[in-house]
Structure 1
Amino acid sequence: MAAPALVALAHGSRDPRSAATIKSLVAEVRGLRPDLRVEAAFLELSRPTFGTVVDRLVKAGHEEIVVVPLLLSDAYHAQVDVPAAIAEQLERHPQLRIRASGILGLENAFLQVLDVRMREALKDARVRELDALVLAAAGSSNALANQAVGRLARVWGSHHKLPVKAAFASSTPPATGEAVRAFRAEGRRHIAVASLFLAPGFLPDRAAELAVEAGAVAVSAPLGAHPTVARTILARYAVGAVELVPV
């Protein structure tokens, strides 16, 4: 029996850079596991849609699919949108078995990717000194999701022995500009912002804009297509594939 197909399911964005980045990330996954059928799909706004990809897999003879939600926080999209999308496809294809894995989430290993992106940003900005960091994420109405960002920020700050504030692009304060200004009020002048987003889009752009306006010396790019993120997708897939095995 063939291994279940892997569908990396992202939310989608009107910004074409977002879909391009997700597809590059999925290409990284394929490079690590060329034996698997790996597809990118989107809940909305980008193409291909989840339904289009499922139809394609069914036509190719796949009977099992593991969906890996490319979401960093366990909030509305993970709890409502993904299950609804899967339920819709199961209704359309009753013979199909689909299992959603855990979300991508906030792995400590992603801090290594943040460091890579931050070094790139500091090099471009010709910055050699830092005295504070801001970790910028999307933000959520789910307090637990925001607390998870705060915990990751503390781990990151401990690693670099620098003060770190978590900031959010929507739903909850502080915004990136507020976090930068709070550090500047403490007398800190060399403040860099890391983008804890998977791909470019409106929210990362807004977070960066507010940070620069407030005096940040550098803002990193989102995590993007990196082998560490690709390996995490495969780890989530592995758990989902095991859960598809009949007991």
Structure 2
Amino acid sequence: MSHGSRDGRHAETVWALTGRVRLARPGLRVETAFLDFDTPGVAGALEALRRAGTTRAVAVPLLLTRAYHAKTDLPAALAGARGPSVRQAAVLGGSPLITAAVQRRLFEAGLCAADRSTTGIVLAGAGSTDPEAIASVGAATRELWRAGWCAARPAFVTGPRPRPGEVVRELRARGVPRVAVAPYVLAPGLLPDRIAAEAAAARADVLSAPLGDAPEIARLVVERGLEACRTADAHAG
């Protein structure tokens, strides 16, 4: 389940990710739903499952951090919808597969494994007022540093500072030979465009694409869904 966006590229990316999840688990019924702006909404998706005779489902939030949408919007939408019994899975952040997906996009943008020792990464997220969400971006950044990049710093295009452009300039001032901006977002839209604009204005050497339908993200969606099923079965037992 995605938040949704007025930008059509967002929905296109979510549908592409859904398709990749289906390919990863043939035979598994996978539905797409949006909290806002796009269709089907949560209620519509659950109603379709109910008509198909589904009695249990798992809602996997297509969100990287556990903030307002995961803690409030999605639970409220699920509680107010008619349909099968639904368990909400964990958000996507906090998995090694996220680190792998970020690096995939960096390599697709022109970097290679040998560049790690001379490249600093600016992991640019959307920003949040939720301390847990901010901390999770910091944790993802530390995983990139552990993966061997010579520097890794979080940045936020809204909310708390620093901004992506500020961190690019900071790393340059420290003498980092090459600086790459990696958007910590799933799909294109207004905020990723702002990240790209800041990266260009600060003359970042590399800008990678949103994580989108990277194979690692599709695998992670499946993992989160299965984890939620196992937890539900354990509680039932």
TM over 0.5: yes
Q: 1:112-170, CA deviations, whole angstroms, 9 ceiling, x for partnerless residues? A: 211111122126xxx99944221111121111211221122122123224111110121
Which of 83, 87, 95 pairs up with 1:99? Answer: 87
In 1, Cα distance between equivalents of 2:184 and 2:152? 13
Give yes or no for the alignment of 1:229 onto 2:221.
Answer: no
Match of 1:18 in 2: 10
Aligned pairs for 1:98-117 (under 5 A) are 98-117=86-105
1:81 pairs with 2:73:
yes
- 1:43-100 alpha-carbon deviations (Å, 9 max, x no partner): 00112111111111111111111111111001110100011001111xx34xx31111
CA distance in 2, matches of 1:243, 1:64: 13
Structure 2 vs 1, CA of residues 131 and 238 (structure 1 numbering), >3 Å: closer, same or farther?
closer
> Residue type matched to 1:71 in 2?
L
Query: Matched residue of 2:165: which SS?
Result: helix
Displacement after TM superposition at 1:189 (Å): 5.1
Q: Give the partner amino acid of 1:98.
A: V
Contact 2:124 2:181 (8 Å CA) reproduced? yes
The answer to whether residue 230 in structure 2 is matched with residue 242 in structure 1 is yes
2:133 is aligned to: 145
Q: Which moved more, 1:25-34 or 1:157-166?
A: 157-166
Alpha-carbon RMSD across the aligned residues, in angstroms, is: 1.9
Alignment partner of 1:214 is 2:202 = yes
**Corresponding position of 1:32:** 24
Alignment gaps of 5+ in structure 1: 1-8
> TM-score if structure 2 supplies the norm length?
0.91
Aligned match of 2:49 in 49, 57, 61?
A: 57
Q: Does 1:67 align with 2:59?
A: yes
Q: Give the AA of the match of 2:89.
A: S
Task: Provide the residue aligned with 1:196 in structure 2.
Answer: 184
Q: Percent identity?
A: 39
Q: How many residues end up aligned between the 2 structures?
A: 232
2:173 is aligned with 1:181: no
CA shift for structure 1 position 231: 1.3
Aligned twin of 1:120: 108
Change in Cα spacing, 1:148 to 1:40, as seen in structure 2 (3 Å) is same
TM superposition shift of 1:242: 3.0
Code of the aligned partner of 1:111: T
Partner Cα separation in structure 2 for residue 205 and residue 212 of structure 1: 11
Q: Residue deviations 1:158-204, cap 9 Å, x none?
A: 32241111101211101101111112222345211111111111111
CA distance in 1, matches of 2:80, 2:148: 45
Q: 1:110 and 1:193 mapped to 2: Cα distance?
A: 16
Asked whether the equivalents of residues 93 and 136 of structure 2 are also in contact (C-alpha less than 8 Å), the reply is no
